[in-house]
Structure 1
């Protein structure tokens, strides 16, 4: 994967790591940071991370941890309150983190309907096609609906294999979280690949804008 743009994803758990890294002292091209979760969770380090990531030469991204027991509009409002009313055109599209910890209800059809509503709220607000973060197991259990295929996939599958295990809804991945065991300056980080090089990533960002 030597030609793939490489990145990490961070939250308050990584502390002030962003203050000590840049594109000159790492091989990273992008950093995705947590913004919010559910209807009340707001990452205390988001504002600093969000501002600092591009200053250090990285492409930035932001994610929301989705919970199925919270109303889509309320969750969207939480994300908007944290990120703001506009989304930078040079950033990766907003990310919706949907994993095993997201599942707090049992009505499968309602989970699908609500998540699609949430994705649509983000898309309408920012004119960007959001990214879905999930893994094979959760994706096959809850996102097995063709309507999700329009959203780019950030697949989580830590492995040394040459490609990740994929949920069946998607033919391919856009970002692959290939490791939970990265370490930068003594700080544990998740490691990610973009499915292409830095120029490919910039083109993907351009094409994710619905206003073009």
Structure 2
């Protein structure tokens, strides 16, 4: 199978680091977890949502209690959807957490409606910003997760992060730009500077609230490109 980096380049006309995308006609999305409860995805679709990332797991002990309900509801509404895993690099290896994610909703299939799973790696909510890891150890951890996910599914996971965290905690590693799609979080009218290795972002989380539940996202391309990513071709 092609690398996912090649697939996303072929999927759509993707833009580089600092355009304003919110006003652009591109597929809109949301990402949600148990904090939003059971989401009415039919209403969200009617309100313009085309895709969603839904929290499945965190670390190796937490399964989101709303995941199954929300994933089934998004599927029923005809929304392209995928799962995400909130990383805790301080509690176990990347491979261990990838396997946990895969076992609890994070899988992928080339069905045209499933996005590759996403690794949510960002600020530690309850401790050291970089989870006590050096930059080189963090890169190893992310690679371990990514390669384990790829070995099972044939696609590389999306990496969700912020540029600030990536610079601080990986030393601004450029190791993943040719394989892993980027989902950047930046709450502004433009994307801003991206982490090293990526010349564009595939998904952009541009607000933490809006007209639909959860965080507000946008795909960097057109609907046909989003569908191709979900097919892996």
Q: TM-score range by the shorter chain?
A: 0.7 to 0.9
Give yes or no for the alignment of 1:140 onto 2:167. yes
Quote the Cα distance in structure 2 between the aligned partners of 1:200 and 1:72.
Answer: 29
Q: 2:182 aligns with which of 153, 162, 165?
A: 153
Greater relative contact order, per chain length (Cα 8 Å cut-off, separation 6+):
2
Question: Which residue matches 2:105?
Answer: 83
Flag as ranges the 4+ runs of structure 1 deviating above 6 A.
none
Q: For 2:175, what is the secondary structure of its paired residue?
A: helix
Q: CA deviation at 1:129?
A: 1.8
Q: Which moved more, 1:33-42 or 1:107-116?
A: 107-116
Q: How does 1:60-71 map to 2 (within 5 A)?
A: 60-69=81-90, 70-71=92-93
Q: What count of residue pairs does the alignment treat as equivalent?
A: 202
Question: Which residue matches 1:11?
Answer: 33
Q: CA deviation at 1:19?
A: 5.3
Quote the Cα distance in structure 1 between the aligned partners of 2:98 and 2:156.
Answer: 14
Quote the Cα distance in structure 1 between the aligned partners of 2:85 and 2:164.
Answer: 20
Task: Show CA shifts across 1:34-60 (max 9, x none).
Answer: 010111111011111122212101100
Q: 2:142 aligns with which of 115, 124, 136?
A: 115
Q: CA deviation at 1:73?
A: 2.7
- Asked if the contact 2:134–2:169 (Cα under 8 Å) also holds between the matched residues in 1, the reply is no
Q: For 1:100, what is the secondary structure of its paired residue?
A: coil
Question: Which residue matches 1:98?
Answer: 121
Q: CA deviation at 1:146?
A: 2.5
- Asked if the contact 1:175–1:192 (Cα under 8 Å) also holds between the matched residues in 2, the reply is yes
Q: For 1:117, what is the secondary structure of its paired residue?
A: helix
Quote the Cα distance in structure 2 between the aligned partners of 1:106 and 1:75.
Answer: 16
Q: For 2:56, what is the secondary structure of its paired residue?
A: strand
Question: Which residue matches 1:173?
Answer: 201
Question: Which ranges in structure 2 are unaligned for 5 or more consecutive residues?
Answer: 1-22
Question: Which residue matches 1:193?
Answer: 218
TM-aligned CA distance change 1:108 to 1:203, over 3 Å: same
Quote the Cα distance in structure 2 between the aligned partners of 1:18 and 1:121.
Answer: 33
**Greater per-residue strand proportion:** 1
Q: 1:59 aligns with which of 58, 80, 98?
A: 80
TM-score, with length taken from structure 1: 0.87
